[in-house]
Amino acid sequence: MTSTPLITCDHLHHVYARGNVTALNKVNVAIHQQEIIGIIGQNGSGKTTLVKHFNGLLKPTSGRVLLDGQDTVKRHVQELAAYVGYVFQNPNHQLFAKTVEEELEFGPRNMGLSDEQVIERREKAIEFFGLQQYRSHHPYRISFPLRKLVGMASVYTMQPRVFILDEPTTGQDNITTRTVYRLIHRLRDEGKTVICVSHDMILLAEVVDRMIVMRNAQIIADATPREVFADSAVMQSTRITPPQVTEFGVQYTQHRTRPLADVGPARTVVLSVQEAIDALFIGPKG
């Protein structure tokens, strides 16, 4: 990609004073507009520490984080929050208003928008997230999956350029999970950048277009999901299991002469059921 990165980490180093833990070890990464990025890695590998630097919740011990070319150290946290929205894994840590509507008015009002603009932002979020029926409900009297959508919607009302979603599909049911996938694509269509910390293999295989793999405070892989899932050394070192259909493809290849994944020049593994069906019943394309 040739555009100026939206977020640049330049030798980003973070040591937590408590326990003298090096959580990020000279990390370099650049993130661009409209990318959908998945960040994976074992517990304690540094994922949360990394994304908390993107919106200034944490400051580097050394190295720099640039937002649109400007050092985050020189910006106020409020200003950064309007630019990079952080959706908590647990909405109970995020929501506090008495109704869904009030929750969705808080951010825009806090940003100093007019009453008219506040209502416009609220209504756009209600429509976008399909919350019409729940507008006067207490956020804690709706189901956990819906509450999680409200958490996303409240960040959406601030219209940040970057959305950080921490485990957006954890605790979701089948329907709201599919809703989250669609929402991520819609956010991208609106020009947003979406960064998901996630263990959800379907999300990683079918929704994101770039995967960043962390291990021991460093990035050990940064590539397309197809490339990452095909890299058995990386997969083993993270102890992450690829999608079952990908494993099926790999095992099929070991038992047959023709690799299942061989449905196109760049394909090393299959990522979806549809790709496996194409490979089995339709055969190699162009």
Ligand X SMILES: Nc1ncnc2c1ncn2[C@@H]1O[C@H](COP(=O)(O)OP(=O)(O)O)[C@@H](O)[C@H]1O
Residue 176: φ, ψ to 5° = -70, -30
Rank residues 43 and 174 by Cβ distance to ligand X and give the closer one. 43
Name the strand (E) or helix (H) holding 15: strand 7-16
**Quick one: 41 or 107, whose CB is closer to ligand X?**
41
Site for ligand X in 178-237 (CB under 6 A): none
Q: How far is the CB of 286 from ligand X (least distance, A)?
A: 40
| Residue 1 found at the interface with ligand X (CB under 6 A) | no
Smallest gap from Cβ 214 to ligand X, in A, equals: 6
CB of 191 to Mg ion, least distance (A): 27
Q: Which of 109, 101, 103, 66 is nearest to 87 (CA)?
A: 103
- Token pair in block for residue 62: 């050394």
Q: Phi first, then psi: what are they for 274, rounded to 5°?
A: -60, -40
- Nearest CA to 50 out of 214, 239, 234 is that of 214
Taking the least distance from each CB to ligand X, the nearer of 47 and 188 is 47
Minimal CA–CA distance to 173: which of 194, 153, 148? 148
Q: Which of 5, 27, 36, 45 binds ligand X (CB under 6 A)?
A: 45
User: Is the Cβ of residue 47 or residue 147 nearer to ligand X in the bound state?
Assistant: 47
Q: In the 8-state DSSP scheme, what is residue 192? A: -
Which string of x and - marks every residue 37-56 that binds Mg ion (by CB under 5 A)?
----------xx--------
Which of 1, 16, 132, 258 touches ligand X (CB under 6 A)?
A: 16
Q: Tell which one of 23, 150, 183, 276 touches ligand X (CB under 6 A).
A: 23
CA 251/CA 23 separation, integer angstroms: 36
Angle at 231 between CA 227 and CA 235, to 5 degrees: 115
The contact set with ligand X (CB under 6 A) reads 16, 18-19, 21, 23, 41, 43-49
